[in-house]
């Protein structure tokens, strides 16, 4: 078990540090103090070759903009908020518009572009990082001063846990997630269409043409959104289904079943790498990288369309007429808490 740190850049006159956690088996996770961005998760294939199973930029300067949110903490609110409008206790707030006419992933400079304070943690069973950030009242026009903590822990079971805590001094919105792009082929050498996915969900949220929830909850039965049994991601992704056409692929919230069967499983038959996810959140957004990325990527990974999958565990996104808003409103007497575990192994 060990942690290393290296200065790799300068952002807004502050040093950008890369923190590298390594367990006793050689599994490696690298996290930046900029946005809590995960830039590396090195796991072995069937021959024992350690390769990166997440996408990242080759050039650190590209993280200073990061329009696709590679590997980052997303906040204060993950997902889209229609027209950037929210009402809390009768007070209307107009959030920053950065996605058509809507607010996406926290606004113009969400948590993915913030510098976080970092403390390292190490003991006999795990290594970890505690990241903290103070989000001021009316930052991106969200009400309340928000104290946020993100803890990344790597253990010898090859599990990466991400835990979030948040406290506010007045009612506000909090719906955090992580936006890592996974590809189990290693170093992004093959697209994800042949990689297999199981999502433990009987229902998903319908989206409109701007990918805002309509409020309608749909059964996955008989649709391309049925991942209750594992299937290749590419099996149904090109079906002429309105929901898939709206997103140019998958970019939808699945409502997770509460049966202790785990949230999802992801598997690459070629490398034999597998990943299971467990979470205390109600939903997961599965995004199938529906656009190509023209930037130079680390590890000679390809930036082609469908070359990664994001699994964004979170609360339900806000729908029409403030539907589900109460689920992501945090009061001063409450503590926001989220825990998601990513378990890596070989089949």
**Residue pLDDT, tens place only, 69-99:** 999 999 999 999 999 999 998 999 999 999 9
Provide the b/e sequence for 92-118 (b: ≥16 CB within 10 Å). Answer: ebebbbbbeebbbbbbeebbbbbbbeb
> Does residue 122 contact residue 1 with C-beta atoms inside 8 Å?
yes
pLDDT for position 117: 99
**In the predicted model, is pLDDT for residue 187 greater than 90?**
yes
At 174, is the pLDDT very low, low, confident or very high (cuts 50, 70, 90)?
A: very high
Catalytic machinery residues: 179, 312
At 53, is the pLDDT very low, low, confident or very high (cuts 50, 70, 90)?
A: very high
At 261, is the pLDDT very low, low, confident or very high (cuts 50, 70, 90)?
A: confident
CA distance 40 to 340: 18
Q: What is the pLDDT of residues 98-150, one digit of tens each?
A: 998 999 999 999 999 999 999 999 998 999 999 999 999 999 999 999 999 99
Q: What is the pLDDT of residues 281-334, one digit of tens each?
A: 999 999 999 999 989 999 999 899 999 999 999 999 987 767 788 889 999 999
Find where tokens 């809507």 sit: 102
113 Ramachandran zone, left/alpha/beta (phi>0; psi -120 to 50): alpha
Burial of 35 (0-12, 13-18, 19+ CB in 10 A): buried
pLDDT for position 338: 98
Distance of CA 46 to the CA centre of its chain: 27
The mean predicted confidence, pLDDT, of the chain is 96
Of the candidate CATH numbers 2.70.98.10, 1.10.3720.10, 3.40.50.1780, 3.40.50.300, the domain formed by 2-191+287-346 belongs to: 2.70.98.10
The pTM assigned to this predicted structure is: 0.97
C-alpha dist (Å) from residue 116 to 30, 123, 124, 131: 15, 23, 26, 6
Q: Would you call 146 helix, strand, or coil by DSSP?
A: strand
pLDDT for position 271: 98
CA distance 260 to 238: 31
Residues in Cβ contact with 186 at an 8 Å cutoff, skipping those fewer than 6 apart: 45, 49, 51, 52, 53, 271, 273
pLDDT for position 320: 72
pLDDT for position 43: 98
pLDDT for position 195: 99
Q: Would you call 300 helix, strand, or coil by DSSP?
A: helix
Sign of CA dihedral 75, 77, 80, 85: negative
pLDDT for position 322: 75
pLDDT for position 256: 98
């Amino acid at each position: 078990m060990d942690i290393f740190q290296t200065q790799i850049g300068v952002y807004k006159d502050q040093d950008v540090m890369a923190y590298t956690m390594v367990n006793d088996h050689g599994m490696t996770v690298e996290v930046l103090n900029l946005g809590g961005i995960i830039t590396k998760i090195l796991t072995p294939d069937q021959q024992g070759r350690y390769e990166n199973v997440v996408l990242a930029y080759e050039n650190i300067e590209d993280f200073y903009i990061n329009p696709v949110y590679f590997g980052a903490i997303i906040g204060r609110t993950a997902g889209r908020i229609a027209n950037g409008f929210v009402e809390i206790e009768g007070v209307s707030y107009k959030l920053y518009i950065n996605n058509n006419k809507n607010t996406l992933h926290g606004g113009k400079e969400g948590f993915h572009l913030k510098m976080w304070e970092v403390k390292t943690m190490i003991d006999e069973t795990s290594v970890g990082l505690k990241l903290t950030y103070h989000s001021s009242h009316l930052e991106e026009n969200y009400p309340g001063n928000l104290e946020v903590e993100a803890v990344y822990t790597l253990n010898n079971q090859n599990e990466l846990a991400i835990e979030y805590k948040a406290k506010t001094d007045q009612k506000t919105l909090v719906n955090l997630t992580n936006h890592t792009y996974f590809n189990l082929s290693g170093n992004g050498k093959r697209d994800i269409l042949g990689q297999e996915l199981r999502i433990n969900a009987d229902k998903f949220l319908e989206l409109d043409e701007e990918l805002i929830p309509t409020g309608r909850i749909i059964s996955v039965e008989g649709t391309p959104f049925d991942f209750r049994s594992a299937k290749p991601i590419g099996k149904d992704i090109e079906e002429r289904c309105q929901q898939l056409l709206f997103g140019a692929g998958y970019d939808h919230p699945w409502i997770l079943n509460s049966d202790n069967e785990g949230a999802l499983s992801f598997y690459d038959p070629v490398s034999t790498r597998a990943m299971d996810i467990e979470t205390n959140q109600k939903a997961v957004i599965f995004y199938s990288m529906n656009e190509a990325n023209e930037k130079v990527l680390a590890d000679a990974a390809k930036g082609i369309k469908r070359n990664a999958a994001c699994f964004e565990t979170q609360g339900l996104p806000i729908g029409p007429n403030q539907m589900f808003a109460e689920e992501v409103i945090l009061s001063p007497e409450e503590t926001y808490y989220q825990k998601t575990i990513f378990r890596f192994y070989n089949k």
